[in-house]
Amino acid sequence: MPPVKKYSEEELYSELKSRSRLAFEYLYDNYSPALYGVIFNIVRSEETANDVLQEAFVKIWNNIAQYDPAKAKLYTWMLNVARNVAIDKLRSKQEKADRMLKNDKAFIQQSNTTSHTFIDGIGVGKLVENLDEEQKQIIDFLYFRGYTQSETAEELGIPLGTVKSRVRLAIIKLRKHFA
């Protein structure tokens, strides 16, 4: 078995743009666990998370030309693609119908016991713990649960502007850790 080629981010992007199957396999093998973790924390179902993960990778493959390295890291772009596909899935009519069939008590219990295992694997969970309680709460709703800013404001009973301000402050603090 030949050794697996390792790619720098620039090489990976270049190979993906030229439609390299090996680069895509590398991408899937190395990034799917982290993306799955984010997706699972939004959809809260293994079966749905697996479906969404596949949809996300198809979307990444089909839209790699839209990625702009000047705007974000490749992983960040892929994370946003996966997160958006997961949120779209949650908002779909079928998914809403499926969720309504679940017992509310079981759903709440599952939501409370689900950990951020995959996200902690890349260190984001630990960084979020360093935020103020208000900022942690907002990040939890927006990024780990998949709420929109408006839904978060409504759920927490606070103005939309407050949600936006707290997100901005949280992102500034998180950004300092990655700089």
Closest by Cα among 128, 141, 139, 135 to 166: 135
The whole domain housing 158 covers 123-179
pLDDT of residue 116: 45
Domains of the chain: total: 2
Instruction: Give 57-74 as a DSSP string.
Output: HHHHHHTGGG--TTTS-H
pLDDT of residue 99: 61
Same domain membership, residue 82 and residue 168 = no
The CATH number assigned to the domain holding 37 equals: 1.10.1740.10
Same domain membership, residue 73 and residue 137 = no
Same domain membership, residue 65 and residue 137 = no
CB 54 within 8 A of CB 36: no
The CATH number assigned to the domain holding 151 equals: 1.10.10.10
pTM higher than 0.85 for the full model? Answer: no
Same domain membership, residue 72 and residue 42 = yes
Same domain membership, residue 128 and residue 83 = no
Pure H helices in 44-116: 46-62, 74-91, 93-101, 104-113
Same domain membership, residue 56 and residue 127 = no
CB 43 within 8 A of CB 90: yes
Rounded Cα distance, 63 and 80, in Å: 13
pLDDT of residue 113: 43
Same domain membership, residue 140 and residue 95 = no
3-state SS of 10-43?
A: HHHHHHHHCCCHHHHHHHHHHHHHHHHHHHHHHH
pLDDT < 70 regions, the chain: 1-3, 93-125, 178-179
Same domain membership, residue 96 and residue 158 = no
pLDDT of residue 132: 85
Rounded Cα distance, 63 and 8, in Å: 20
Any residues with CB less than 8 A from the CB of 88 and at least 6 apart, and which? none
Tallying the residues shown for the chain, one arrives at 179
